[in-house]
Amino acid sequence: MDWPESPFALPDHASGSETMADAAREIVAAGRRMDRLGFLPATAGNLSRRLSSDRFAITRSGGHKGFLTEADVIEVGLDGQAVRAGDRPSAETLLHCQIYEHEPEAQAILHGHSLAATVLSRFVRDTIVLEGYEVQKVFAGQTTHTAAIRVPVFDNDQDIPRLARNVAPLLNDMPAGYVIRGHGVYVWGPNMKSAMARMEGLEFLLACTLHERSLAR
Ligand X SMILES: CSCCC(=O)C(=O)COP(=O)(O)O
Binding-site member from 4, 16, 62, 77 for ligand X (CB under 6 A): 62
Binding-site member from 91, 129, 148, 168 for ligand X (CB under 6 A): 91
The answer to whether the annotation marks 111 as part of a ligand binding site is: yes
Decide if residue 121 touches ligand X (CB under 6 A).
no
Closest residue to ligand X in the complex (CB): 90
If residue 26 lies in a helix (H) or strand (E), which one and from where to where? helix 20-36
- Strand blocks (E) in 14-95: 46-50, 55-59, 73-77
Piece in contact with ligand X (CB under 6 A), picked from 3-11, 37-45, 74-82, 139-147: 37-45
The answer to whether the annotation marks 96 as part of a ligand binding site is: no
CA 121, CA 1: separation in Å to the nearest integer? 42
- For residues 108 and 49, is the Cβ–Cβ distance under 8 A? yes
CA 50, CA 63: separation in Å to the nearest integer? 21
Decide if residue 61 touches ligand X (CB under 6 A).
yes
Closest CA to 213 of 149, 144, 122: 122
Number of residues that bind ligand X (CB under 6 A): 12
Binding site for ligand X (CB under 6 A): 42-46, 59, 61-62, 90-92, 111
Residue numbers belonging to the annotated binding site: 111, 113
Residue numbers belonging to the annotated binding site for Zn(2+): 111, 113
